[in-house]
Structure 1
Amino acid sequence: MRVRVPTRLPGAPTPTILNLQRLLKTLNELGGSVVTEDPGLQHAAEQLALVLSDHGLQRMTARVLATLLFTEQSSMTMGELAERLAASSGAISGAVKMLTSVGLAERVPVPASRRDHYRLRDDAWALLYTNQNAVLFPMLAAAEAGIAAAGRDSLAGHRLTEMRDFYAFLLGEIPALLDRWNESRGGISPTT
């Protein structure tokens, strides 16, 4: 059970801290989770979403990712995400589809719920980094094809050689980097 605590109901007396504390305590005793607006947390989540969108992620996808990252709930439904972000169900659906397709979010079963629940994967960041290999191989191949077309000794050939060498270097270093990351976390490795 989720309950949003409004700042003031129409016609209700002005709430006091003591009244709100009693209400929160009662709701928590009933097993409900209370959605409160924490401006600091909300600001931090929106700042992260801005950074992500400034670096290529669609704005709504970035906001959903930040919400899943900052929530204290173990998982959220699309309806909860839509409510939290004041967004349409279509926008949330598209964002969740994108996040699940790249492996950052996953659908999880929740007992006694008929709705799909989503959460940020525990290994999301390492898995995302691992998936970047799918981009590196085509870039390496494109650089090789460019070198063959432009000629090794041309100006374009020199630039393309640097591009090829860079991607080859990354492909050689990423596995060792991920192994060190996994070791630092006690051997947890990204699942594929």
Structure 2
Amino acid sequence: MPGGRLTHGDRRRIAAWLAEGLGYAEIGRRLGRPTSTISREVARNGTTGDYAADHAQRVSGDRARRRRPARPAEPPTAEQPTEVVRGFVDRFATLLAATGLPRMTSRVFVCLLTADAGGLTAADLVRRLRVSPASVSKSIGYLEAMEVVVRRPDPGGRRERYVVDDAAWLRAWQADTGAHARIAAAARRGVEIFGAGTTAGTRLGAMGEFFTWLSEQMSGSSLTASAVYDALTVLAALVHAGRPLTLGALAGALDWPEDRVTAALDAIRRQPAIADPLALRTVGPRTYTLTTRSDRLSQAQREALHR
């Protein structure tokens, strides 16, 4: 009904205007309602001569109560979460939105994150979030592109269910790592184009160094804990010696087989962040030493330290 349901005040005005002899069209115009609304109201609650506002209001209330019978309280379900759950979803979504994730996408993601193992359908998300299907669909597409949400068939019907599975975090981590490496490479290319001595080159150089470090730190997760431990042990041995050491000398000093030392050296080469701010250098046949990473200090800083 345009303008919502008639109020008690509306009905009093209808009664007064009927008493003045106004027609249904004029009364509807004054109330901002269709003429049919006024005619139905009067027809349901009396004739033109005996329409009573108070009686019409009581009848309307009784009719509304019959249409909406009281239902017993039900325990919360996935489709009807508690206010506490809704509050958590909103607060968590706000935090995610602050990182750059769209607000609605954040809400959809948190709903899926807190759902049962079977996930939720699009209809479930619409009911839980009280938003349009289009909003849910757009957010699901965004999350699928990030590879943090997967589709699964609904065993009970033809709909699809959306799930945040256990592998989502690894996929997101790997995607971020690759993106950081590409940003670092693009920044280094920018330094070549603009020149290292320019303002743009300096900014891009710092950006490239940061994203190179970030990518190295994140990709280090591909090594096992034991591989990282061995790599750190070899680094400690080279630092302690303070001179280049051969593979045989390292193996003898650590009392390790040579293949274990070789594996540790390979780990350092593959993940340079393990040695940061040092860098592994090969100075002879199967001979290794450590130097400082050239990108940790600018040319001016290196020159100043040699004065």
TM normalised by structure 2 equals 0.46
Cα 1:69–1:153 change in 2 (3 A) is same
Give deviations 1:105-141, integer Å, cap 9, x for gaps.
1111232321111111212223212111332233112
Cα 1:180–1:65 change in 2 (3 A) is farther
Q: Decide which of 157, 169, 173 is 1:113's aligned counterpart.
A: 157
Alignment pair present for 1:46 and 2:90:
yes
- Describe how 1:167-182 pairs up with structure 2 within 5 A: 167-177=211-221, 179=223
Q: Decide which of 98, 105, 126 is 2:142's aligned counterpart.
A: 98
Q: Which residue of 1 aligns with 2:201?
A: 157
Alignment pair present for 1:57 and 2:57:
no
**Highest CA radius of gyration, 1 or 2?**
2
Cα 1:64–1:150 change in 2 (3 A) is same
Q: Which residue of 1 aligns with 2:116?
A: 72
170-179 or 105-114, larger mean C-alpha shift: 170-179
Kept in 2, the 8 Å contact 1:41–1:70? The answer is no
Q: Decide which of 61, 65, 68 is 1:10's aligned counterpart.
A: 68
Cα 1:180–1:127 change in 2 (3 A) is farther
Query: Secondary structure in 1 aligned to 2:197?
Result: coil
| Structure 1 position 178, deviation (Å) | 5.4
The AA in structure 2 aligned to 1:130 is Q
| Structure 1 position 169, deviation (Å) | 1.4
Kept in 2, the 8 Å contact 1:78–1:93? The answer is yes
Q: Which has the higher contact order (CA 8 A, sep 6+)?
A: 1
Query: Secondary structure in 1 aligned to 2:151?
Result: strand
TM normalised by structure 1 equals 0.71
Residue-pair matches, total: 158
Q: Decide which of 126, 136, 157 is 1:82's aligned counterpart.
A: 126
**Distance (whole Å) between structure 2 residues aligned to residue 41 and residue 157 of structure 1:** 49
Percent identity of paired positions between Structure 1 and Structure 2: 26
Give deviations 1:52-91, integer Å, cap 9, x for gaps.
1122111111110010011236211101111111111111
Kept in 2, the 8 Å contact 1:105–1:118? The answer is yes
Moved over 4 A (4+): 33-36, 178-181
**Distance (whole Å) between structure 1 residues aligned to residue 190 and residue 78 of structure 2:** 58
Alignment pair present for 1:138 and 2:182:
yes
Can you give the 5+ residue segments of structure 2 that lack an aligned partner in the other structure? 1-66, 226-307
Can you give the 5+ residue segments of structure 1 that lack an aligned partner in the other structure? 1-8, 25-32, 182-192
Cα RMSD, aligned residues only: 2.5
**Distance (whole Å) between structure 2 residues aligned to residue 108 and residue 135 of structure 1:** 27
Alignment pair present for 1:166 and 2:210:
yes
